[in-house]
Structure 1
Amino acid sequence: MNNDPHATRQRPPDRHYAPSPHGMYLRHFGLRTAPFGITPDPAFFYPGNTRGELLAALLYAVTQGEGIIKLTGEVGSGKTMLCRMLAERLPPQIDVVYLLNPRLEPDEVLHAIAAELGLTLDGCRADTVLRALHGELIARHAAGRQVLLLAEEAQAMPGATLEALRLLTNLETASHKLLQIVLFGQPELQLTLDLPQFRQLKERITHSFTVPCLPPALLNDYLTCRLAAAGRTTPLVFTPAALRRLARAAQGIVRRINILADKALLAAFADDAQQVSARHVRLAIADSAFYRAPWHAGKLLAGALCALMLLLAAALLWQWLMPGHKSGMATGMAAPATFPAARSHAAPPALLDSKLAESRGWLAQQGSQQLVLHIASLPASETTAAETFLQQAQQAIGLHNVHVFRLPGTVSASKWQQQAPASASARLAIVYGSFADQASAEAVWARIAPASSQKIFLSSIDSIRTEINATAPAQAGRGAP
C-alpha cells in the first residue's frame, strides 16, 4: 500500500477516465482536433459565402479611420468569428479595445474603455474620465497609433449607451477621428437605429455589412473546410440525404450546423461508420433542443402554431363558401355552426375596409421581388365572409402579416384564382407574410402546408401590383377601395 500522503491527489492514468465525446471520434475520422466547436476559432474561419469579402471590407473600413462601422447578422451566424478575425488581421499600429458587456450604462462604458487603455480612473466622475480618455487618444495619435473599439451584442445596449458611443466619435483632430468604432449586433440593432431618436447615430455609420446565412448549396463546402482545418486529409462524406436534413434543421445558422455536425459525427462513430448518413443527422437533431430559427423577410413571421391556426381559418372559410363543401368534404372537417350566424348577423365589414386600405399602403412599401403566400381567394361580394375570416385571424395571430387585396375580374384566371373556379367578377385575395426569397417562403410553406389539404400558392409583390393596375381604368369612377 502506498503511504504517500499526496498519492490520493495524483491523477490516475488516462485510461481510467472516460474520453471526451470529441476524443472518442478524432482518431476514428483521422482528426487532430474537434472540427465543429462552437467557440469562434480563427483557425476554422470559412471564407466562403461572402465571409472572406466581409472581412476584407471590414479591414478596409477600419483603416480609413472614419465614422462608425456596423455589422449585423442572425444569432449564431458568425459575427464573433468575424470580430476575432478582424482583430487578428489588423495592422500593428491599431490598438484594439473590446466592449464585451452591452448592458453598461454610459458612465460605465467610459470607465470600461479607460480601463482597456490602461488608465486608472476608478471613482472619477464621467467628465474627468472623458478628459483623460481624450488626452490618451491624442497621445496615441501623436505616436502614430489608432484606437479601435469593438462592441459586441450592440443590439442589447441601452439607448443612452449608444448615444455615449456616438459622442465619443466627436473626439478628433483637425483631420482624423481619434476613436474608430465597430458595432456587432443582431438584426434588431438596425430596428433600433431606425428610430427617430437615433438618427444622429445612424448618420455617423459610414459602412454597414450583413452576415448572410449559409445556403444549402455551400453546406458541404463549409463542412469540408472545417474538417480539413481539423486535420482530415481526405473528404469525409456526408451523404446527400444527410446534407439535406442538416440544412433543413440548421436553417443556415453556422452555430447550429456545428452543433449538429459534431453530434452526427459522434453518432457515426458509434455505428463504426466512415460516412455520415441521414440517420446520424436525425439522431443529432433529436438530441438538440434549440428552437427552430425564425425566417426573415424584412420582418419576423408568426410562429408555426399561429400559421396553422391561420390556415385552419382559411380552410373553414372555404368549406363555408364553396358549394358541396359545407359537409367537410374538402378538409375532412365540419363547418363550424357559428359561421351561418356570422354570415347573417355580422356587423358591417369595418375590419375588411381598414385592412384593404392598410394592405394597399403596405404594398407600396414592398420590393417588387418580395414574395407572399396566397392562402385564400373569394368573390368580392362576400365581404361578410372576409370580415369573419379576418376577425378569426385577428384573434388567432393578429393581422400584422395578413394582407387583403381587391383583384379584378377582367383579368384571366391566374395564380390568384387557382383555388376557385375562374370568374369574371372581382375577387378578394388574402395573402400571408413577406419573404425576401423563395427559399424562405418555401421553408415556412413546408412547415404549415401539411396541416391542411388546401393548397397554398406562392406569388410575388409584382404580380399583385400587375393585377391591381390592370383594372385601374375600369375601376375609375366606381369608387373601388
Structure 2
Amino acid sequence: MYYEHFGLHAPPFKITPDIHLFYAGSKRGLVLEALIYAIKTGEGIVKVVGEVGSGKTMLCRMLETKLPPHIDVVYLANPHISPEMVLHAIAFEMRLAVSTDDNRLHVMHALHAALLEKHANHRQVVVFIEEAQAMPLDTLEEIRLLTNLETNRDKLLQMVLFGQPELDINLAKSHVRQLKERITHNFHLEPFTKQDIENYLYFRMQAVGYRGLPVFDKPAIKTLHLISQGLIRRVNILADKALLIAFMDNTHFVHKKHILHAAQDSHFTIPYTCHLPAKLLIFFLFALFMAIILSPQNQWLNTQLQHLLIENQTKTIHLPVTNPQPINNTFIQQRLAATQTWLQQVNSQHYTIQLLQINADKLEAVARFLYLPEVQALQQPLFIIKTTLGWILTYGEFTDEAQASAQLKTLPERLQRNKPFIRRMENLKPHE
C-alpha cells in the first residue's frame, strides 16, 4: 500500500528472510564469513546463538547460498525429532535408500558408506539444525556420533547448531559434556545498537528502490531501539507498520509518534520514558535528584511525580491507569523471597506461564503491573525472576504443558495483550 508513496518496488521489512536484503552490519557479515571458513576447513561442530528474532534464520539461509558448490547441506528444520529417527531424517535428506523399518545399525551403515563416497568425490556434508535449543539432547548426541566418522585427515560430517540462549543452558548439562567439547566455534548474535538500527533502516529502504534522505528521524530511531530491544524481527514489524501509518498520515517521514502507534498495534511493551516529553523527563530527573539529595522522605514530591507520569501515560497511549498508590516494597520483597525458595524446590520438568518481561533493571515496572486488577484477581501464585536482561513475571506452577495451556486460555484479555506463553522450568531455574 505504501510502496509507491515512498518510491519502493518491494517491501523493505518483510518478516520472512530474504537473502537479497541481508544486512552485513552489526558483525553479521563477519559472522557469516567466519562460518564459511569454519565449514570449508572441516571443523566438526559450530554453534550460533541469538535471542528470538535476532536474525539466525536469515544467517542460516545466507550461509547455505554462500557455501562452495562442493559442500552439500542437510537441513533439519524440525527440531522435535526423536533419537531413534534422526538418522533416518538425515538419510532421507541425503536421498539414501532407507525406510523407517530399517534399524539404527543399518541406517548408520548406509550413512557411513554415502559419506565415504562423497569424500572420495571431494565433497563435504554439513547438517544445519535450526531451533537447536528445542531438540532433545539425546537426539543431538546421536548426531554427534555421526561427527565421529572420519578419514585419517578429514571429518565426514559437520554440524552447525542455530539456537536461542537456552541452547547454552542445555549444553551445560554434565551428561552432554562430550557434545559441548566437540564445539570448535561459538558465535553470538548481539542485538542491534541504535546506530545499527539507523544504518539497517536506510540500507533496507535503499535496497528496494528508495532514493532520498533517511525516512526515519532521530527520535523515531531512538524509540524504535528502546521498544525493539535491538531485535531484528521487532525492528521489521515496527518499521513496516510505521511506514504504513506515515503513509496514512500523508507524510514522507516517520516520526516518534508513528513508532509508538505501531508498537501499540503490535502490543509491544513500551518503556515509560518513550511517553515522556523531553521537558517532563528533564524535570523528572532533576526532581528525583533533588529528592535524593535533600529529602529522601519527601512524600509530596513523590506524589506529584507519580501524578505527572500517570497523566502523561494516559494522554499518550490510552491505557488503563494503574493504582497510583505508592509501591508496596514489602509485598515485592515477599514475592522475591518466595520466588527464590520456589526456584530451589520446583521440579525442572514442570511448567509456568510468563506474563511479562521487563528488559531493564526496573523492578518498579513489574510492581505497577502487579497492581492491575486483572493481575490481583489471579488465583495461582506469582513469581518475580531476575535475569541478565531484567525481570520476568511468571504465573503458577503446572505439572504438564496441557495443564498450563488450559490455564493460559483463561487469562483475561488485558493480560493476553502481552502475549503470555508457557515456559519449562528447566529453562528458568538457575544452573550451577
CA deviation string 1:257-309 (max 9, x = no partner): 0000000000011111110111111111111035689xxxxxxxxxxxxxxxx
Deviations 1:143-165 (A, max 9, x none): 01000111100000111101101
User: What's 2:248 paired with?
Assistant: 270
Mapped contact 2:263–2:269 kept (Cα < 8 A): no
1:96 — aligned with what? 73
Partner of 2:426: none
1:27 alignment partner, SS class: helix
The two structures, once aligned, show a CA RMSD in angstroms of 3.0
Change (3 A) 1:129 1:450: closer
Distance 1:210 1:120 in 2: 38
Deviations 1:314-357 (A, max 9, x none): xxxxxxxxx996x967866xxxxxxxxxxxxxxxxxxxxxxxxx
Structure 1 gap ranges (5+): 1-23, 294-322, 333-385, 402-440, 452-481
User: 2-side partners of 1:393 and 1:144: how far apart?
Assistant: 59
Q: Which amino acid aligns with 2:56?
A: K
**TM alignment of 1:18-57, pairs within 5 A:** 24-57=1-34
Give the whole-Å Cα distance in 2 for the aligned partners of 1:290 and 1:119.
Answer: 46
Post-superposition Cα deviations, 1:398-442, rounded to whole Å, max 9, x if no partner, equal: 3799xxxxxxxxxxxxxxxxxxxxxxxxxxxxxxxxxxxxxxx99
Q: SS state of the match for residue 2, structure 2?
A: helix
Distance 1:390 1:274, change over 3 A: closer
Over residues 109-155 of structure 1, what are the superposed CA-to-partner deviations in whole Å (9 max), with x where a residue is unaligned? 11111011111311211111110000000000000100011110000
Q: Deviations over 1:189-215 (max 9, x none)?
A: 001111111110011000000011001
Q: Distance in 1 between matches of 2:38 and 2:124?
A: 13
Task: Identify the residue that residue 82 of structure 1 maps to in structure 2.
Answer: 59
Aligned residue pair count = 307
Equivalent position SS for 2:168: helix
Match of residue 152, structure 1, among 130, 138, 146: 130
SS in 2 for 1:210: strand
Aligned to 1:62: 39
* Separation (CA, whole Å) in 1 of partners of 2:270 and 2:139: 32
Please show how residues 70-219 of structure 1 align to structure 2 within 5 Å: 70-122=47-99, 123-219=101-197
Considering only CA atoms, is the larger Rg found in Structure 1 or Structure 2? 1
Q: Distance in 1 between matches of 2:269 and 2:173?
A: 29
2:225 — aligned with what? 247
> CA 1:279/1:65 → structure 2, altered by over 3 Å: closer, same or farther?
same
- Tell me the CA shift for residue 448 of structure 1: 3.5
* 1:448 aligns with one of 365, 388, 391: 365
- Aligned-residue sequence identity (percent) comes to 48
TM-aligned CA deviation for residue 236 of structure 1: 3.5
In structure 2, list runs of 5 or more residues that go unmatched.
272-294, 304-328, 344-357, 369-432
Is the CA contact (8 Å cut-off) linking 1:236 and 1:274 kept in structure 2? no
Q: Alpha carbons of 1:389 and 1:287: their partners in 2 closer, same or farther (altered >3 Å)?
A: closer
In the other structure, the counterpart of 2:267 is 289
Task: Please report the TM-score for the alignment, with normalisation by the length of structure 2.
Answer: 0.66
Q: CA, structure 1 residues 392+274, in 2 after alignment: closer, same or farther (shift >3 Å)? A: closer
Residues 95 and 146, structure 1, Cα contact 8 Å, conserved in 2: yes
Name the amino acid aligned to 2:72: D
Q: Is the 8 A contact 2:17 2:57 kept in 1?
A: yes
CA distance in 1, matches of 2:144, 2:94: 19
From the superposition, tell whether residues 233 and 129 of structure 1 become closer, same or farther in structure 2 (CA, over 3 Å).
same
Deviations 1:85-107 (A, max 9, x none): 11110011101110111000112
